Every structure is written in C-alpha cells, then in structure tokens.
A and B are shown apart, each in its own frame.
Chain A
Amino acid sequence: MHLILFIVFAGFCLAGAINLLLQSHPINSALSLIVVMTSLAVLYLLLGAEFLAAAQVIVYAGAIMVLFTFVVMLLNAGREDRTLGSRSARVVGFPAVVVILGVLATVILKAQGLGVVTLSDGITSTADLSTVLFRELLLPFEVTSVLILIAILGAVALARSGDGERTSK
C-alpha cells in the first residue's frame, strides 16, 4: 500500500516538475510547482513526518505559491518565447547535471550515521520533532531564524531607501 502510494505520488511529483519546465505560460508553471509541492508533502507523510507534511502544504503550497501566482497575476506576465537554446548549455549543461547528480547520490549513499527511514506506519509525532528541534538542535535553529530575520530587515531597508529617494527629489 505504501509502495503504491509512493510510486503514484513520486510520479505526480516528476510529472509536475517536467510540466513546470515545458509550459510556456508562467501561471501554468506556477500551478505545476504547486503539484510538486503537494506531492512532496504526501511523500513526507508516507515517511511518517506528519508535521513536516502539513508545514509543507501550509507554507510552500499555500503561502509561498500564493505569492508567486499573485505576482504573476499582478504583472499579468504573458507567454514566454521559446528560444533555440544556447549551444554551450547543451554541450556543458547536460554532462554537468549528470556529474552533479552523481556526486550528490554517491555522497548521500556513502554517508554513514544519517539514520534510516522506511515507508511504514510509524509516525514521528510533533512532540518528538520539537524536542529534537528545541533541545539538541537549538543553536542551528536559532541561527537560521536570525538569518531569515536579517533577510527580512534587508528587504525592508531596500524598499524604504527607494521610497526615500523618490520623496527627496
């Protein structure tokens, strides 16, 4: 049962990703990305990470992609032109992608002590997750949140300085 669901949703995920690249209209690409995000959430759920699955749907499929579609609609972006593609991308690009994927795969497969997850009925409860997050990994967690805060402050500062120039002129 788990395996069937995994294959179905992994298929959705890949189909969405390929469709994202092939579509020429931005809004169709954005919608394919939503399909990818939600199928990823189902894959997390199959691995027993229920909180992660819910967060994936709420944050990525819900909030961030709404923002994407909002911007596409606001700018009313039209159809993109299809180019023939550059030759260097064809010559260098595909081998480079294969090499990078190979390196990543070997590193992940060779790495020891990462722990094992299996498709099973076992569920990591939200309480377990938060224990790990707020006790053992507290420092990385807080550092990440400070990083995000800095990004927000930077965005606000950029927006404000542009506004100030306009009013001063």
Chain B
Amino acid sequence: MTILQFFLWSLLKVVVVTVVMLMAVAYTVLLERKLVGRIQNRWGPSRVGPFGLLQPLVDGAKLFLKEDLIPTAVYRPLYLIAPVIALGCALISIAVVPFGEPNVGPGGIHFFQISDVNIGLLVILGITSIGVYGIALSGWSSNNKYSLLGSLRSSAQLISYELALGLALVGVVMRAGSLNLRVIVESQAAKGIASWNIFGGFQFVAFLVYLTAAYAETNRAPFDLPEAESELTAGYHTEYSSMKFAMFFMAEYANMITVSCVATLLFLGGWTSPLGNLFPPPENIFAHALFPIFWFVLKVFSFLFLYVWVRGTLPRFRYDQLMNFGWRYLMPIAILNILGTSLWLAYR
C-alpha cells in the first residue's frame, strides 16, 4: 500500500467515523430526552417530524443561529480554546476503537477501525485525561464563581475517579495479555457470552467499578456535580452560549459514547456475537461485515440506555459522599480485583 493510498483511506475513514459519531451524538440526546420523558410519565419531544425524530437537527440549527455572547471579563484566549479542547478530545478517542470484523477490507485495509494501535487502551485513557482541561479552563477563564466552582469540582472528581477507572481495567488487560483493543476483543471471542470478560472472565466487579467511575468521569448523573443546576446554575458552562455551549454539550455525549464503546470492547466481547461459534460465520461478504457491526451497535446502545436509565432514577450525590465513595470504596475494590485476578491467573 503506497503512502498516498494509506492517506486517502485514512481520510475517508476519519470523515465517515466523524459524521457517524456526530449523528450518534445528536440522536443520543434525543434518546435521552425521550427516555427520561417516559420515565417521568410524559412524552418527550414529539412535535418535529414523526416521533420527534427531526428534533436533533432543529436543535442544531437553533444553536448555530443563536447569538454568540462573550462576557467582557473573561480571559479570552483560554475562554475560546476551552470548548475546542473538550470537543476535540472527545472526538479523537474514537479513532482507536475497533467496531467490526478486522479481516474484511481488500488489501490489508482495516475498514472498521481508523488506527490499530498496540497501546489502544492507554491512548483512550490518555486522551480522556487531557479532555479534563476543556472543563477546567472553561470554568477558570469565565471569571464567574459558579463556573469556577463547577470546574474545581470537575477536576477534583476526575483526579479521584481516574485512578479507580484505570485500576479497574488492569484485570481485563492481565487476562488478555495485551493493551491492543482488538486483541482484547479476540481473547473473549471463543465461546460467545460464556467467554466475555464480565461473565466467563469473572470481571464483573471490575465492570461495576469501571461503570461507576466512568459515569463520574463523564460528569453524568448521579455524579453531575460540576453542573449541578440547583446549586451552580449551569456549572462550568454558565457563561457559554450558542455553538460554544453546544460544543461542551456534544463533548459530554461523545464521551458517553466512547465510554460505552470501551465498556463493550473490554467487558462484553466487542463486535463478537453472544452466540460465539455455535453458528458458522456467514458466507456472504456483506453479512460477514455487517453482523459484527450490528452486535457492536446493539451493545453500545444498551449502555447508552443504561446511562439514561440511571440518570432518570438516581438522585445526585452530595460532594463529601462522592469523594468518600471514590477513595474509600471504589479504589480498594479495584485493587482487590487486581489481586484476585492475578492470583487466579497464577494458580488456575
């Protein structure tokens, strides 16, 4: 493959994945509004298009057309770059996520993954940890006490929960013996649902720790203290309007999708079928390519559903409860899980 071919294929993949990701973000917002509506016994958006399906597009147009206010007292350079950091980091991390069968492209091209990196898992963790600066700087540069409190809370929360999140993943990495996301998925492919890390790999404790920590990392309820409406108006994005606000909004939902993808890859066997090798793989090349994508999307969707369900059900933590929970329970549990997994791997 020449360098030009490589460049063109990569460009194509990047464009397609970005467009799909942005559409997924828009419709995750709709999914959330509809589901929370049903949980609260009301309809949710239902006026624009059939079942309100065109609502995200109209919302997008509205946010584009709104007036873009910049308060006079903000620190401009950081105020302007903060939403770009937040959205950029949220979109970049999808680049290492494999979402389909690897061996379907012609000429050794991996159709369903932008970049196959040896240390894919660490790349995702690294980009997520850089993404914090978007929130931290937005709050500080806004020169507003609500914003500052929101971003301080967010930084503290991220520092506390990132440890538990990283430690929860160590068990999975030890079982697969690799940090490559594709290898991790293939290590769970043999017997379908029975060899998924969450069941066959006995990593359900790690799964629960990861899920809790990830909810905190993405600032979602019940850990949405950085933007707690009742105390901080809107938290770190109080002073943002129009598209700059929309960028934070999109970053939050893009992060949710990335977290769901990672959970799918690490604990639910990624694109592999839950039936395992019971049925022979389909002969048809299109079916061979599309079935894995179907399973992947289904799993990611169920995680997004869970996100909204949790948001609609649980009340927000108090700040001291949040910190106690992270340091006193999640961290020790994650460390014990590493200990247990390594003992099991050594003596089985």
Contacts and interface: CB of A to CB of B under 8 A. Distances in A.
Most buried by B among A55, A58, A69, A123: A58
A125 B159 CA distance: 28
Contacts of A66: 129, 132-133, 136, 155, 158-159
16 contacts: A27-B137, A51-B119, A54-B123, A58-B126, A58-B166, A61-B126, A62-B126, A63-B129, A63-B162, A66-B132, A66-B136, A66-B155, A70-B152, A70-B155, A74-B152, A127-B177
Contacts of B179: 51, 126
A30 to B, nearest CB: 10
Give the one of B78, B152, B179 with max A CB within 10 A: B179
- The A interface, classified by DSSP as helix, strand, loop or mixed, is helix
Interface in A5-42: 27, 31, 34, 38
B130 A62 contact: yes
Given A63-B129, A66-B158, A76-B148, 8 more contacts: A31-B78, A58-B122, A58-B129, A66-B129, A67-B159, A70-B156, A73-B148, A127-B177
A57 interface: yes
Interface size class of A (residues with CB under 8 A): 20 to 34
Contacts of B125: 54, 58, 62
B136 A70 contact: yes
Given A27-B78, A62-B132, A70 B118 contact: no
Residue among B125, B126, B148 having the largest count of chain A Cβ atoms under 10 Å:
B126
A124 to B, nearest CB: 10
Given A70-B152, A73-B136, A125 B122 contact: no
Interface string B129-163: 11011001101100000001001100110110010
Given A51-B119, A51-B122, A69 B159 contact: no
Nearest to B136: A69
Interface in A64-113: 66-67, 69-70, 73-74, 76
Interface of A: 27, 31, 34, 38, 50-51, 54-55, 57-58, 61-63, 66-67, 69-70, 73-74, 76, 123, 125-127
Contact of B162 (A50, A55, A62): A62
A31 B78 CA distance: 10
**What are the 7 tightest A-B residue pairs by CB atom distance, in nearest-first order?**
A62-B129, A54-B122, A57-B126, A70-B155, A73-B140, A58-B126, A54-B119
A104 B126 CA distance: 32
B123 A69 contact: no
Nearest to B173: A126
Interface in B73-125: 78, 118-119, 122-123, 125
Nearest to A73: B140
Nearest to A126: B179
- Residue with the highest number of chain A CB atoms closer than 10 Å, among B78, B136, B158, B162: B136
B133 A69 contact: yes
Contacts of B133: 34, 66, 69
Contact of B118 (A62, A69, A123): A123
A76 B139 CA distance: 12
Nearest to B132: A66
Contact of B159 (A27, A58, A70, A123): A70
Contacts of B136: 66, 69-70, 73
Q: Max chain B CB contacts within 10 Å: which of A66, A74, A126?
A: A66
